[in-house]
A and B are shown apart, each in its own frame.
Chain A
Amino acid sequence: MPDIETIERVKEIDVDKYKYGFETIIESDTAPKGLSEEVIRFISAKKEEPEWMLEQRLDAYARWQKMDEPDWAKVSYPKIDFQDIYFYSAPKGQTGPKSLDEVDPELLRTYEKLGIPLKEQELLAGVRKHDEPSTLDEDAGPSYASGKVAVDAVFDSVSVVTTFKKELAKSGVIFCSISEAIREHPDLVKKYLFSVVPQGDNYYAALNSAVFTDGSFVFIPEGVRCPMELSTYFRINAENTGQFERTLIIAEKGSYVSYLEGCTAPMRDDNQLHAAVVELVAMEDAEIKYSTVQNWYPGDKDGKGGIYNFVTKRADCRGDNSKVSWTQVETGSAVTWKYPSCILRGDNSVGEFYSIAISNGYQQVDSGTKMIHLGKNTSSRIISKGIAAGNSDNTYRGLVTTHKKAKGARNFTQCDSLLIGDQCGAHTVPYIESKTRTATFEHEATTSKISDDMMFYCQSRGLDEEEAVALVVNGFVRDVLQQLPMEFMAETQKLIGISLEGSVG
């Protein structure tokens, strides 16, 4: 009986075999457990921050204390004990290595295990051939400039190594850790940090504003097309460490940047909290493309463990004709709460959101976007593909709204859900607010399963059940996959296959 086979396979569901589950043992330089003004002062001092930054943090902390944890998302998890979390943990002796040679070899091995070693990354990106010298050396020549990926690797809370920095600097691009930016470029940081996501924006953003330890800072000067894809790999490692990343990207007039963010996490039992904030600012004619592949530990087959991922991502299309495009592939985390948004303030500005969210096991995903149309002739496009399997719940939650003055605003939304198995749930909660006659909004949503006809067709041509499912699912998400930069596409296709293994229903 095929049904019984299926049940057997579901039992062996893949979440238990998390490919990236291992731990690296490195001594941590850790702040005392829990959250208090002292801890915030400790973090700020550790980061050698100026006084104004500390004040902002303390202000955020004061706001956070007055806020309630949001409960409107369709996720449930035990109450988080914020006094049982380490808010700062830095791999010892890793404060600012100059090159890969200075990096703890243990870290490099971790990346290797993840399948994303920095040097391998060069090869993937076609930066050098096997017999060529590594361009990670600081004197990389300009002849290698095209098709490169600059990596700002984040290991726990401290930026471990930043590559290609020198070359980027030649075009005036600043790409460094946010801590460094606070020290080196205080004017820029002062001007833009908290300008898109203010300290008191929401519960998790306030928490992040108080305790953020690291993240990336990108500044693209006027008229510059960033010569390479910028990329960050996030890792959560030390036990009981919250990860509070803060990313700020500023694209000046007429500039372009593509930023990639990818993450995996080691296997463990304790739930881990991740509350990141990403702020994007696009000035006139600027374009930012932000891509994420999120593959944190989703918990084991019984729903034990896994990462809590509460993220605030927001882009401000401040200038006319600016454009921001969010692309995300969400396959990991036990609980995801994430709504990358665009404030379309400039006339003719464009916001895009492309999302693939796959949930399996006992994962809970509540994700979507907000498109806030303020300027004239602004347009937005939302393509969301949710795939639920196992015992998971997968929710799309989105808002599209126009201001009265947003004449000629346009939105197109398509959210499709695919259910695999009869113990999962797929939900769609879109909010649409149209406040002017000339705005045109279109919203479409469908939910279905992989039809028996499709399966029969594929299987009668010699594909086995899993291959057939992978084929159909890859077709289902194709619209979004195509939005990913080349570097991520191959990786993501594999990831989709891995995430859905054993879930045929």
Chain B
Amino acid sequence: MSVVLHRIDDRLIHGQVVVGWGQRMGIGFIVLVDDGVRANLWEQELYRMGVPATTDVVFATVAEAAARAPEWEKDPRKGILLTGDVDTMVALCAAVPEVRKVNLGGIHARDGRTERLRYVFLSDGEAAQLQALADRGVEVTAQDLPTAKPVPVAELV
């Protein structure tokens, strides 16, 4: 198995990820790619709190994630890789061209963003970045939970 979900979610590791996707898909590890959390042991402890003891959690920078991606692709378990924002996922996709699908799981309201879906708010710049990913052949869809219908990024930009 390998990383079966590359997800942008500004809540990072939370119920939807651990229960909604994790339990349903039988996840064995979660990779959280976020420079701030990677540098903060207390934040790492916080994010481990809600994860079952049988699920490994890895904290990484983009560079570390790119270096370890081949190792994770060979992992016999299923994994989820999370970033908290569009910029980080775009950087990861540039560093790891093998990423072929990106899930928009939760990008919430902020100044400069407009609502595209109940759980997806994007600035024009973020929308353009995601469309550029799609134009390069990456399948970018919004889907908060596995039971929801995926919405192609073309419908959001």
Q: Bound pair: A and B?
A: no
